[in-house]
Amino acid sequence: MYLRHGLVKVCCILLLSSLFSCGNEEVIKSKDETPFVRVRFTALPEHVTSPAENLSSQDKIELGRLLFFDPILSGDKDVACATCHHLSSGYAEILEISIGVNG
């Protein structure tokens, strides 16, 4: 008998606590929320200054261009940097998660 009353009390307490925890919370939306603004970002700055101790030259620029498009730098020598990093996206990877070389 006492066990039964104790069990009923515990069930009532659990029921009431679960009902109070499911309160009616209103989500208040403000009309003056800041609108989402799309800004186009690029991977590289518009102007780059060369350090005095390592000035740019046409030979260095051409070497960088050749290496960027050459697949020999990849692990299995079949993918170049330009495979994923396109000029149209500011040389950035356009995927949120890169699929990688073996993807």
In a domain, 82, yes or no: yes
pLDDT digits (tens, 9 = 90+) for 52-101: 999 889 999 999 999 999 999 888 888 888 888 888 888 888 888 877 77
In a domain, 65, yes or no: yes
pTM: 0.46
- Print the domain residue range for 81: 56-103
In a domain, 39, yes or no: no
In a domain, 48, yes or no: no
pLDDT of residue 65: 93
CA distance 7 to 11: 6
In a domain, 66, yes or no: yes
Q: How many domains does the chain have?
A: 1
> Is the Cβ–Cβ distance between 44 and 89 less than 8 Å?
no
In a domain, 11, yes or no: no
Report which of residues 22 and 80 the model is more confident about.
80
In a domain, 15, yes or no: no
